[in-house]
Chain A
Amino acid sequence: MITAERKPIEDLIQSVSPYRRILLVGCNECVTVCSAGGRKEVALLSSALQMHFMKEAKPFEIKEITLERQCDPEYIEELVPIIDQADAVLSMACGCGVQEIARRFKEKPVLPAVNTTFMGASERQGVWAERCAGCGDCVLGVTGGVCPIARCSKQLLNGPCGGSTRGKCEVDPDIDCAWQLIWDRLKALGMTERYEENIPAKDWRTGRGGGPRKIVREDLA
């Protein structure tokens, strides 16, 4: 899942300030699951912004809607009947959603309300952690199911750096050393010999190195 976090209210206040009528759009997908931009967060942000501008005695109108998914054009169409009632759109979806709305409504300013952060998993209620960097060439098969690209601070592919201490990363003692996790996991699998295998230098073109990517399923497209 894509995770995101609401931007500081201060930033949001600043970004919507030039406008009087705001359409606040939530997304019932990833950002709902990570409690950043679903119906509840939309309502809460709407309430907070309204209250702020009431305090400032500034006329301000906000309309709320939450789409099933903001990254699919069909769902975006739901905004058509109401888009003209707004001077700007504030989207609580990930960056994909923001861009899709911007693509559909060319004359309408679209502002992001959340910072899209990472692809991650929920460790427990209210805690999400990064798990995947979307490199386009998955190595998890050889690293015992722990990703050195997403979870090693230095994205090292062949074992830990000298900063790995008691299983923790030198960048932040709260971060587990990915290579410690890989080692533990390989040991548990009885596959420590994999650790000896050298992973060749990664071809980053499958990742961001090759420019914006696109997937085309020919049977579907």
Chain B
Amino acid sequence: MESFQPVIVAFCCHYCAYTAADMAGSKRLHYPANVKIIRVPCTGKVSALHIMEALRKGADGVYVAGCLDGDCHFRSGNTCATKRVAYVKKLLDEIGIGGERVEMFAMSAGMGEVFARTATDFTEKIRDLGPNPARVGLDKLGCVGAGA
């Protein structure tokens, strides 16, 4: 499993987490290249469907990173996102993909270190979990299809 490079999608809010990611860059803090950031104005914009579709389309893990509790630029988008992430976790457990592939994080714009650490830890966690079973199944299906 050493060669497994998980693909991770991070939905980051413009005002905090995305800025923190830029901050990590300007401080030259390293984190795994596995994490691909999608910028959203606020984590309140991230719907359950965005997270589910990211996984269905091939991500091994997805996280939503917003502002610290009480710091949301739009007042409460981050609390909405937290609830949605919890909902998606349950759904993922139900379909056998596993809710632990999805997480919500909070950080402020100045926390470049936290961004880098979060990205690193989450990547390691997903690496330990192994590839998204849906993707594995699809690959299997592809092989079956080719054989038949």
Contacts and interface: CB of A to CB of B under 8 A. Distances in A.
| Chains A and B touch each other in the complex, with CB atoms below 8 Å apart | yes
A47 B49 contact: yes
Interface in B2-55: 47-49, 52-53, 55
A1 interface: no
A57 B47 contact: no
Contacts of B144: 57
A52 B138 contact: no
A48 B92 CA distance: 8
Interface string B54-92: 011000000000000000000000000000000000010
Given A43-B49, A51-B56, A9 B141 contact: no
A56 B49 contact: no
Contact of B52 (A10, A47, A53, A56): A47
A40 B47 contact: yes
Interface in A43-88: 43-44, 47-59
A40 B50 CA distance: 11
Interface residues of B, number: 22
A47 B56 contact: yes
B56 A55 contact: no
Contacts of A44: 48-49, 52, 91
A210 interface: no
Contacts of B134: 51-52, 54-55
Interface in B91-142: 91, 94-97, 133-138, 140-141
Contacts of B145: 59
A54 B136 CA distance: 8
Interface size class of A (residues with CB under 8 A): 20 to 34
A44 B88 CA distance: 10
Contacts of B96: 52, 55
A40 B137 contact: no
Contacts of B52: 44, 47-48, 51
Given A43-B49, A47-B52, A47-B56, A57 B137 contact: yes
A8 B90 CA distance: 11
B136 A51 contact: no
B141 A48 contact: no
A57 B48 CA distance: 24
Contact of B94 (A10, A55, A57): A10
Contacts of A9: 91, 94-95
B60 to A, nearest CB: 13
Interface of A: 8-10, 13, 40, 43-44, 47-59
Interface of B: 47-49, 52-53, 55-56, 91, 94-97, 133-138, 140-141, 144-145
9 contacts: A8-B94, A10-B94, A48-B52, A51-B56, A51-B134, A52-B97, A54-B134, A55-B97, A55-B134
